[in-house]
Amino acid sequence: MLLVDAGNTRVKWAIAHADAAPGEWTAHGAVVHAELDGLKDAWAGHGVTRALVSNVAGTAIRERLAALLPLSQPEWFGARPELAGLRNRYRNPSQLGADRFAAALGARTLAPGQALVVATCGTATTVDGVTAGGDFVGGMILPGLGLMLSSLARGTAQLPDTSAQEALPPTFADNTLDAIRAGCVAAQAGAIERAFAALPAALCIVSGGAAGHVAPALSVPYRMLDNIVLVGLHAAAIASTTP
């Protein structure tokens, strides 16, 4: 089967055998939107008989993906009231983003019976809570680290544009570039820590392209997991075929 996570900046994908456990893939990759056309060759030759797609990147990306997928009838994944033991407590369950529901499902699949704070650090950062009993209780959405950094340069007269770096800047930075990085990283980490404080004894799972920059700033225990949305899609695919 082919699993696809189409986000705001990149499209992540994985190939799995029908009997594989969630996260056990024979191939996987990621491309930015400008490189989507290369996916057709990447997906060829794998004998795909099923495709499950989460798309939060809008109608245009959906149409481009539909033209590239090796199947004419893909399954477009969306949040639902309940799936595989995860109950969606959003006020309107269908309004929950497909990626957030899939990430929560992936986290619960890898850590069953555990209260969870699931932080996905991408173009946007989402921080969601799941109780030990399997209730998705909701969460937060905030600008991702890259958006925070670039917005200061666009919206101010004298602050320079900068990007994240591997080394975590000090809390009290002694130069402007590090002060910008320190503030934006602290804002990301603070949202995650606030969620952790509201859900006692939770396991904090951090994923996404900016996770490597945000996670080291956390003052709470955490576990980094790559491609948590794809893990959730894999779990959803298994759940929908299990008798």
Q: Specify whether the CB–CB gap between 230 and 13 falls below 8 A.
A: yes
pLDDT, tens digit, for every residue of 184-226? 999 999 999 999 999 989 999 999 999 999 999 999 999 999 9
pLDDT, tens digit, for every residue of 143-170? 999 999 999 888 887 777 777 776 788 8
Is 145 among the domain residues? yes
Is 218 among the domain residues? yes
Q: Rounded to the nearest 5°, which phi and psi values hold at 59? A: -65, -40
User: What integer pLDDT is reported at residue 166 of this predicted model?
Assistant: 66
Calculated CA dihedral for residues 223, 135, 51, 124, nearest 10 degrees: -60
Which two three-digit tokens encode residue 182?
């320190």
CATH number, domain with residue 183: 3.30.420.40
Please give the annotated binding residues, written as ranges: 5-12, 90, 97-100, 123, 176
pTM here is 0.94
Confidence band for 231, pLDDT divided at 50, 70 and 90: very high
Range of the domain at 148: 114-227
Task: Please give the tally of structural domains in the chain.
Answer: 1
pLDDT average, residue stretch 129-144 = 98
Which positions are annotated as active-site residues? Answer: 99
% helix, strand, coil for the chain, step of 5: 40, 25, 40
Q: Specify whether the CB–CB gap between 106 and 229 falls below 8 A.
A: yes
Per-residue pLDDT at 120 exceeds 70: yes
d(CA 231, CA 228): 5
Please give the annotated binding residues for ATP, written as ranges: 5-12, 123
Is 61 among the domain residues? no
Is 74 among the domain residues? no
